[in-house]
Chain A
Amino acid sequence: MTVPNQTSGSWRRILGTLALAVLLEQLPWSGWALALRPDFVLVAVLFWVLHQPARIGFGVAFFLGLLADFQDGAVFGQHAIAYVIGVYLLLYLRLRLLQFDPYRQAAQLFPLLLTVQLTVLLVGWLAVNPPAGLGVLLPVFSSVVLWYLIALFVRLWHGKGLQDRS
């Protein structure tokens, strides 16, 4: 695919590629092909967010995420949340990505796509069978409190000198 510059992405082309991605996902994939199937819709959305951020953004990604949720029979919101996070990360990396050649772009997208997939996993896990309720998150809060206490203790013990010396 040729990389269009800022002006050549017309609505027709954007919607065409997104529709094509949705169509490709509708093929009756099975077996190894299903396991290896790339997430066409996510790739298409991220591509257009990279090149046309004014037109394709969070809303489209969220809607297509809901569509992906329907297709997999998953809980609504599972893919939607992950896609929105993917869009955010891409917007964060956007200026850097635009200067890279395709090889480096792909390398940069790897952690991003990994994050999206892990988010799908995490949201599904929390929504469908949370192992011990949301109580598993309690250590986060207690750890924050512990951090505060330790920092406070060290500050009081050493006084302000700790910062001055460093």
Chain B
Amino acid sequence: MATQGQLMFARRLGPTARLLIWLLIGVVCVVFDARYQALEGMRSAFSLLLQPVRELMRAPTDVAAELGGFFTRHRLLQKERDVLLAERSRLLVGVNAAQELARENAELRTLLQLQTRPGQQVVHAALLYQGHDWFAQRITLDAGGGSGLRNGLPVVDAVGLMGQVSRVYPGSSEVTLISNLEQLTPVFVERTGQRGLVAGSGYGRLELRYMPAQTDVRPGDRLLTSGIDRVYPAGIPVARISRVSRSQSGPYLRVECQPLAGLERSRAVLVLVAEPQVNTR
């Protein structure tokens, strides 16, 4: 394939040699990143580079949503308003009761001299980008170190627990979803109080692990965070049990759960920022 102006004999390395060189560099990258976490600087650089672009590219969908909302039918809005009013009055009753309970609770806690529960302060954040990877179930938020986020903070949406902040950049942060394969969440069964561990099984599914075969769990039971780990505040809804089956080989039940939070849908989330707890023991 020697055209005019080109040498007959190759002066550059052949494609196979170049492939091997780049593969070697790639393997070095993987090892340095997975074993030694040595490439976080590069991640930060990419984050700084891409964040304005992501903000920009979110605009079209925001505009589309605005337009869609503008053309919602009047009738629909009226109906929705009626429903909301009814729900508001119902919730107000609940709020009054809750305020009463909170006061009583505070009195009891001072009586017992317990620490207040962590997770009182919240940071609002919006979903910026959703990853597309089998092994890292992660999403990117538009709030970062600048808003006071740290590694390990719990992230919730209106319905339930989403996950945990796992990487913080100046203006954005990465959240590892509870459906991540390596993510464990300590929970208890709402109906019985039985404690357990929820592990992600990838692609928006969860699994309740290490439940002995005679445990009382049924499809439909809700799982709440137990707060044992001091990371998640207790009582955040996590998942609903969808299927319970006996495994032939192991001593434990196979319990499959559906996450309650919209892991793949929610666009607005809350990050619960707790005061760093000082252990005086």
Contacts of B22 in A (CB 8 A): 58-59, 62, 80-81, 84
Q: Would B30 and A75 count as touching, CB distance under 8 A?
A: yes
Q: Would B26 and A58 count as touching, CB distance under 8 A?
A: no
Q: How far is the CA of A129 from the CA of B167 in the complex (A)?
A: 19
Contacts of B46 in A (CB 8 A): 66-67, 70
Q: What's the nearest-Cβ distance from chain A to residue B1, in Å?
A: 8
Q: Would A27 and B57 count as touching, CB distance under 8 A?
A: yes
Flag whether A135 is at the interface (Cβ < 8 A): no
Q: What's the nearest-Cβ distance from chain B to residue A136, in Å?
A: 17
Name the prevailing secondary structure of the A interface residues: helix
Most-contacted residue by chain B among A23, A78, A95, A121 (CB, 10 A): A78
Contacts of A62 in B (CB 8 A): 22, 25-26
Contacts of A77 in B (CB 8 A): 26-30, 33
Q: Would A26 and B130 count as touching, CB distance under 8 A?
A: no
Flag whether A34 is at the interface (Cβ < 8 A): yes
Q: Would A28 and B34 count as touching, CB distance under 8 A?
A: no
A26 in complex: contacting residue of B26, B27, B50, B133, CB < 8 Å = B50
B182 in complex: contacting residue of A28, A81, A95, A129, CB < 8 Å = A129
Name the prevailing secondary structure of the B interface residues: helix
B34 in complex: contacting residue of A65, A84, A127, CB < 8 Å = A127
Interface mask (B25-54 → A, CB under 8 Å = 1, otherwise 0): 111111011100001001100110010011
Q: Give me the interface of A with B, judged by CB distance under 8 Å.
A: 22-23, 26-31, 34, 37, 57-59, 62, 65-67, 70-78, 80-81, 84-85, 87-88, 91-92, 95, 121, 123-125, 127-129
Q: Give me the interface of B with A, judged by CB distance under 8 Å.
A: 1, 15-16, 18-19, 21-23, 25-30, 32-34, 39, 42-43, 46-47, 50, 53-54, 56-58, 60-61, 127-136, 138, 140, 167, 174, 181-182, 264-265
Counting from the closest, the 7 A-B pairs by CB-CB distance are A77-B29, A73-B138, A81-B26, A77-B30, A72-B133, A76-B33, A70-B46
Q: What are 24 contact pairs spanning A and B, CB under 8 A? A: A26-B129, A27-B61, A28-B130, A30-B264, A31-B265, A58-B21, A58-B22, A70-B42, A70-B50, A72-B132, A73-B138, A73-B140, A73-B167, A74-B136, A75-B30, A75-B34, A76-B33, A77-B27, A81-B27, A88-B15, A88-B19, A124-B135, A127-B34, A128-B135
